[in-house]
């Protein structure tokens, strides 16, 4: 049995997940004051468009970090969505 990946499976470009939409309600992060770059993301509060559940996501429990994005997942299993660094860096809370 050959366990080596076939050339067709060797891809350096992976598609980022986009099976659900979320409203970001709050971001708790440590940002670099000079660049605004997120140094550490502590948590996200989000609302799932699929089931309307509001939830708090932490690293490993609701979102995972990859080299190109944070992958946010609905706790009810509705889906997941990749949040690129720029989206998180530029996020502003909704005006009250």
If pLDDT is split at 50, 70 and 90, which confidence band does 14 have? low
Q: How far apart are CA 8 and CA 30, in angstroms?
A: 40
Burial of 30 (0-12, 13-18, 19+ CB in 10 A): exposed
pLDDT digits (tens, 9 = 90+) for 42-93: 999 999 999 999 999 999 999 999 888 999 999 999 999 999 999 998 888 8
Torsion angles phi and psi, residue 56, rounded to 5: -105, 130
Domain ranges of the chain: 17-90
Q: What confidence score (pLDDT) does residue 63 get?
A: 94
Is the pLDDT at 11 greater than 50? The verdict is no
pTM: 0.76
Q: How far apart are CA 13 and CA 71, in angstroms?
A: 16
Q: What confidence score (pLDDT) does residue 6 get?
A: 43
């Amino acid at each position: 049995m050959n366990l080596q990946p076939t050339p067709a499976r060797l891809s350096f470009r992976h598609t980022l997940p986009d099976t659900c939409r979320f409203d970001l309600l709050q971001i708790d992060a440590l940002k670099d004051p000079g660049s605004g770059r997120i140094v550490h993301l502590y948590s996200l509060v989000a609302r799932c468009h699929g089931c309307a559940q509001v939830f708090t996501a932490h690293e490993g429990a609701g979102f995972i970090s990859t080299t190109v994005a944070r992958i946010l997942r609905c706790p009810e299993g509705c889906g997941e969505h990749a949040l690129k660094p720029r989206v998180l860096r530029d996020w502003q809370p909704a005006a009250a």
